[in-house]
Amino acid sequence: MRIEIEHLYKSFSNSKVVLEDINFCDEVTSLSVVGPSGGGKSTLLRIIGGLLSPTSGSVTVDGTKLVQDERHLIQYRREIGFVFQQGGLFHHMTGRENIIRPLVSVHGYSEKDAADRADELLTRFGLADDGHKLPAALSGGQRQRIAIARAVAPNPKLLLLDEPTSALDPEYTTEVLNMVSELSSTGIRFIIVTHEMGFARKACDKVAFLQGGNVVEYGVSQEVFSSPATPQFRQFLGKMFEWS
Amino acid sequence: MSLASSGSLISRNEGQDNMNLFIEKEGKKAAPLIAALNIVIVCAAIIAFFWVSLAIIDLKFDFSFLPKYRNWILNGFKTSLGISLLSLVLSLLIGILSAVGTSSRILALRYFCRGYITVIRGTPLMTQIYLFYYIIGTAWGIESRFISGALILSIFEGAYISEIIRGSYLSIDETQLEAARAVGFNRRQTLRFVILPQMVARTVPALAGQFASIIKDSSLLSIIAVVELSQSFKEISTSTFHLFESYFTLGAIYLCLTLPISFISKRLERRFYYEN
C-alpha cells in the first residue's frame, strides 16, 4: 500500500504546532513510528486514520487523496482498522458484541455471519472463553487483543495501532505484540506507534523516528536501528536502552 | 524496630476483634445479624429520643379518627400519584428537549434552554406555582388544577432532569466516541449504539431518585388547592384538630411511596454498573 504525505501541518486551538511539514512517500507493509512523547506520533496516526483533519497538507493512500469532510472520511475509516492505547472497546458491550456490532451495522454482515466471524477470531487468538465478558471483567491484555480482533474483523486494508501496549503490564505486552506479529505474517499491513523498540526493530520492516513534529529519520528497521544516521535518533535509542 | 511495629500490629488487631460487633472491618461486609443488631440499636435510640421528648411536653397521640377519613386519604393519594406519574413523563420530555437545546446551534434556542434551567433551578417552586398558575394559567385559560399542577411540576422538575441528562452525556468517555468513529459508525449509529445505551445506564438510577423528588414536591401544589395528599391531610387536620397525627401520617405515606423508589434506584444502579 502506497502512502504519500505532503507538507502536512497540524496545530491545535491552543496554537501549539504538533506536526510541522511532514513529508513521506513509500510502500507500507509494516511500519513503526517511534519517538519521544509529544513528538506528534499519535496525531499523525489519527490523521492517517481519518480521525483527525490536518491544518494543511495532504494524505494520499493508494493514489486517492483523503478528502477532509465527514462524509468521505466515514467511508475511508470503514476500510481502516484502528486500535487505541486503551478504553477503545465499548464499555457496555461484551467483547464479542464489540466485534459483531460494527460488522453488522457498518459492513453489512448478517447477524449470523458476523457472529461466526467474531467466534473465529476469538478462537484463533485464544479468547474463546472471554468473548462473553464485559471489558471491565477482562485483563488489559485481553481487552487490547479483542480491540485488535475488532479492528481486523472486517479485513481492513490497513491496521493502525496507537501505542497498544503502553497502558499494559509487561506480562501482557508480549501477548498483544505476538498477535500483531502473527497478523502481520498473514499479510495484514499495519502502522504501529510504539515504545517497544525490540518489536519496532524485529517485527516491522520500516521505522520512522518522529521528534518535534518532524520525521527526523526513516528507513529499513534493521539498518536504522543498527546504525542511526542522526544524532537525535542515536540519543533517543541511548535513553530507551539505558536500563535494558 | 520491626519487632516493635509487628507487636503493635498484633495488639491493634486484637482490639478490632473485641470491637467487631459495632465496627466494620476494612474491606469486609458486616454479617447480617450484626447489621440487624446495629439497625435495632439506631432505631431504639431514635424512638427513645422522641418518646422522651413527647413525655417532657406531655403530648399524647390519638390516631383513632383516621379510618373515618379513609376516602379523603385515598382520593388524595390517587391525585398525588397521578400528578407525579404525569409529571414524570412530561418532565422527562422537557428535560430531554432542553438538554439537547442547550447545545443547539440555533442560538436563540440554546440561550432559551440555558435561561430556563438556570432560572427554574434558582427559584423556589412556590414562586413558580404562583407565577404559572395565577398569572400564566389565568391568562391562557387553563382551568383544571390537576393539569396545571402537573404542568408546573413538570416545568420545575424538567430543569433538574435536564441537568441529569447533560451530566450523563458529558460523563461519556471521549475515547468511546472516537472509537465509534474509528469502527465507522455514522452520527446516528454512534447515538444509537454507543451514546444512548451508556446514557441510559447512567441516567435511569438518577431518574428514579428524581421521581421520589417529584412525589415530595407535588405536596406544594396544595397551595393552589389541588386536593392531593397534603391538601387532604390539611383539610383533615383542620376539621379534626389532630394536627400532629395528620401530618405524621402524611409523612409516613410519603415514606411508603419514596422508600421503594430509592430501593429500586439502588438496584438499577447495580444492574447498570458495568465500568471498572
Is A86 an interface residue toward B (CB < 8 Å)?
yes
Instruction: Tell the residue number behind the cell numbers 453488522, with chain if given.
Output: A104
Whether residue B137 lies inside any domain: the answer is yes
Query: Higher-confidence residue: A20 or B6?
Result: A20
Residues of A in contact with B194 (CB under 8 A): 90
Q: Are residues B83 and B41 in the same domain?
A: no
In a domain? residue B61: no
Chain A residues in contact with B196 by the CB 8 A cut-off are none
What distance in Å separates residue A226's CA from the closest CA in chain B? 35
DSSP string, B243-262: HHHHHHHHHHHHHHHHHHHH
CB contact under 8 A, A92 and B178: no
Which of B176, B183, B190, B193 to probe by mutation at the A interface, max A CB count within 10 Å? Answer: B183
Residue A107 near residue A154 (C-beta atoms within 8 A): yes
Specify whether B243 is located in the same domain as B224. Answer: yes
Q: Tell me, which fold does domain A2-87+159-240 have in CATH?
A: Rossmann fold (3.40.50)
Segment holding A83, helix H or strand E: strand A80-83
Confidence of residue A67 (pLDDT cuts 50, 70, 90): very high
**How far does the CA of residue A158 sit from the closest CA of chain B (Å)?**
12
Which helix (H) or strand (E) segment holds residue B43: the answer is: helix B32-56
Query: Which residues of B fall within a CB distance of 8 Å from A51?
Result: 178, 181-182
Take residue B181 and report the three cell numbers written for it: 468513529
Partners of B195 on chain A (C-beta within 8 Å) are: none
Instruction: Give me the phi and psi of A207, to 5 degrees please.
Output: -135, 140
Q: Is the confidence at residue A221, as pLDDT, over 70?
A: yes
| Total of domains in chain B | 2
Contact A84 B201 (CB under 8 A): no
- If you average pLDDT over residues A125-153, what whole number do you get? 94
Contact A211, A236 (CB under 8 A): yes
Asked whether residue B130 falls in the same domain as residue B71, the answer is: yes
**Candidate from A102-106, A193-197, B140-144, B179-183 with smallest mean pLDDT:** B140-144
For A99, which residue in chain B has the nearest alpha carbon? B183
Return the exposure string of A168-179: e unless at least 16 CB atoms fall within 10 Å of the residue's CB, then b: beeebbebbbeb
- Within 8 A by CB and 6+ apart from A104, the residues are A110, A111, A114
Average pLDDT per run of 10 along chain B, which is 276 residues long? Answer: 46 52 78 89 95 90 86 90 93 94 93 96 94 90 88 95 93 93 94 92 86 90 87 89 89 90 83 63
Residue B114 shares a structural domain with residue B193 = yes
B163: number of CA atoms within 13 Å, CB side? 13
A88 touches B: beta carbon within 8 Å: yes
B100 and B213 part of one domain: yes
pLDDT tops 50 at residue A26 = yes
**Inter-chain contact A77–B176, Cβ cutoff 8 Å?**
no
Concatenated DSSP letters of A1-64: -EEEEEEEEEE-TT--EEEEEEEEEEE-SEEEEE--TTSSHHHHHHHHTTSS--SEEEEEETTE
3-class DSSP state for residue A162? Answer: strand
Please, which residues have CB within 8 angstroms of residue A150's CB and are 6 or more apart in sequence? A81, A89, A98, A99, A102, B183
Kindly state whether A72 is in contact with chain B, defined as any CB-CB distance less than 8 angstroms.
no
The rounded Cα B267 to chain-centroid distance in angstroms is 15
**What distance in Å separates residue A25's CA from the closest CA in chain B?**
24
Q: Where are the alpha helices (DSSP H) in A61-209?
A: 70-77, 95-105, 111-124, 140-152, 170-185, 197-203
Same domain, B15 and B97: no
Chain A CB contacts of B275 below 8 Å: 91, 136
- The per-residue pLDDT for B162 is 95
Q: Report domain extents, chain A.
A: 2-87+159-240
Minimum-distance CB partner of B274 among A51, A80, A92? A92
In the block, residue with C-alpha cell 386536593: B227
Mutate to test the interface with B, among A69, A91, A150, A152 (most CBs of B within 10 A): A91
Residue pLDDT, tens place only, A156-176:
999 999 999 998 988 899 999
A19 pairs with which residues across the strands? A10
Length of chain B: 276
Q: Read off the DSSP letter of residue B24.
A: P
Count other C-beta atoms under 10 Å from residue B186's C-beta: 16
User: Residue B182 and residue A82: Cβ atoms within 8 Å?
Assistant: yes
B137 shares a domain with B117: yes
**Cα separations in angstroms, A229 against A21, A34, A209, B54, B118:** 20, 15, 11, 91, 62
Average pLDDT over residues A66-73: 92
> Which segment of A47-61, A203-217, B228-242 scores lowest on mean pLDDT?
B228-242
Does A82 contact B at CB distance below 8 Å?
yes
- Domain holding B38, by residue range, is 2-56
Q: Minimal Cα–Cα distance from A69 to chain B, Å? A: 13
Q: Give residue B223's pLDDT.
A: 87
> What integer pLDDT is reported at residue B275 of this predicted model?
57
| Grid cell of A98 as nine digits | 464489540
B11 and B140 belong to one structural domain: no
8 Å CB contact of B185 and A90: no
Residues B9 and B133 in one domain: no
Helix, coil or strand: residue A208: strand
Chain A residue numbers touching B175 (CB-CB < 8 A): 84, 86-88
The minimal CB distance from A134 to the residues B193, B198, B274 is found for: B274
Give which of A150, A155, A151 is closest to A99, Cα–Cα: A150
Is B181 in Cβ contact with A51 (below 8 Å)?
A: yes
With CA atoms as reference, report the closest residue to A206 among A26, A13, A31. A31
B52 and B70 together in one domain = no
Which of the residues A48, A79, A92, A160 would you substitute to probe the B interface, choosing the one with the greatest number of B C-beta atoms within 10 Å? A92
Nearest CA in chain B to A140: B276
Closest partner CB to B185 (pick from A51, A106, A150): A106
At CB < 8 Å, which residues of chain B contact A?
173, 175-176, 178-186, 189, 193-194, 197-198, 201, 274-276
